[in-house]
Chains A and B, each alone.
Chain A
Amino acid sequence: MLSLYVPGDSVVHRVRAGLKLAVLAALGVGLFLGDSPVLMTGALLLTLVVGVAVAHLPWLALAVQVRPVWLWLALLFGFHLLATDLRTGTVAVLRLLALLVAAAVVTATTRVTAMVAVIEWLASPLRMVGVRPDRIGLVLAMTLRFIPLVADKAARIREAQAARGGSRVRLGMAVPLLIEVLRMATTVGEALDARGADDVPVRRGGRRARLAA
């Protein structure tokens, strides 16, 4: 989920993120309401056409997303063969495949910030209970930014400990990692301040107005 965006200028790329997510949700509902193999096959082919022919995504970008669940799909199919019948199994697998590919097309054509903006918008009713939706968005974006960084730091500490003949005790790693992360967090906080993350009044107006439009 960290770098799935495939830059491009297709219609699919340019459609608003909110619309894409809405279509994805509608597709999900539709596919679970229906149960004909033709419908499922049609949906799968359609999403593939949209992804490959319209959005010009490489097959690989889609395959990467489907790969982790191949086994589950196979097991699901096997289960249905034993418990129900071939038709139900085929429908179940095609339905999930179509949804997976559709989700892959959306993630590959939508920037993280656009996705985050939709989440902020969805969270905007929470403002009534004092939650700041823009903060949720920022936190999501920062999570995506800092996961690989913290993973890198962890790897470096593991290496350093291995080089000194340390065992692979997890706790021993956690302490220096925690210290490093906390130290960095202080600077991150300052950087957010310095870059105006707290310039609330102006920013809120602009973004809310834009999304509501």
Chain B
Amino acid sequence: MRWGRRAAGGADDAVATGAGIELRGVRHAFGERVVLDGVTLTLTEHRVGVIGGNGSGKSTLARLLNGLVVPTSGTVRVDGLDTRTQVRAVRRRVGFVFQDPDAQIVHPTVAEDLAFGPHNQGLDDAEVAHRVEEMLDRYGLAGHRDHPAHLLSGGQKQLLAIAGVLAMRPQRIVFDEPTTLLDLANTRRVARVIDELEQDVVVVTHHLDLLDGFDRVLVVEDGQVVADGAPAETVPWYVARMG
């Protein structure tokens, strides 16, 4: 088994994440339209990137990883848990950050939204409060605790969305185009946040810079993984192929 590189700054053995994510013979169709076909993969690396053209199937692949989408055929297992039959357990393990933070912030104020996930996990009030404080501090949102989420900048909203997921302490996090709506400064900031995560991450992106230092990058085309390897090989290959 291959073990991924851990976040800079040590903690090499702090998170033992087990068997990783395994997709076997995955095929997915929306109605007649086949969106993914014949995908077999085992993801054990610390940081995995997914790139590919619009409509190639990246988001669908990402959604498979925490059971938001269940494959039409084939299986997806996260640390041995089947997303078809053990979806709750899978979702507790795998956090998901969407492209548009506005769609995933569901409570009116910053602190309330941070409390949402941990509260759903059934944690007691003290632990929920502790996690909220931790996230407010870590992502520079302490001054915005009781502010309407609505009034945050785009960058702050994305940080809040990420913090809302981290507050649930998942072992893995899937990001679907986390920087697409952000300006350059905020893109860098989010890239740094992802970089510093201890958790294993899968990042779908069109921002190829984000993948610097990643352990593995998959290229998706027409519902298939057409290239898979170190970013130094796959990214230039993809760029050349795109013309």
Contacts and interface: CB of A to CB of B under 8 A. Distances in A.
Given A188-B104, A190-B63, A199 B109 contact: no
Contacts of B146: 5, 7, 111
Contacts of B96: 190-191, 194
Nearest to B118: A196
B163 to A, nearest CB: 12
B92 A196 contact: yes
A46 interface: no
Interface string B17-59: 0000000000000000000000000000000000000000000
Interface of A: 2-3, 5, 7, 111-113, 138, 141-142, 144-145, 148-149, 152, 184, 187-188, 190-199, 202-203, 205-206, 210
Given A145-B150, A203-B120, A187 B103 contact: yes
B117 interface: yes
A197 B120 contact: yes
Interface string B84-105: 0000100110011010101111
14 contacts: A2-B108, A5-B146, A113-B107, A145-B113, A191-B104, A195-B106, A195-B120, A195-B168, A197-B116, A197-B120, A199-B122, A202-B121, A203-B120, A206-B122
B148 interface: yes
B218 interface: no
Nearest to A199: B120
B148 A2 contact: yes
B217 interface: no
A30 to B, nearest CB: 31
Given A195-B104, A202-B121, 12 more contacts: A5-B109, A112-B112, A113-B107, A141-B112, A142-B107, A187-B100, A188-B104, A191-B104, A195-B117, A199-B122, A203-B120, A206-B124
Contacts of B149: 145
B71 interface: no
B225 to A, nearest CB: 23
A113 B148 contact: no
A141 B105 CA distance: 11
A157 B116 CA distance: 31
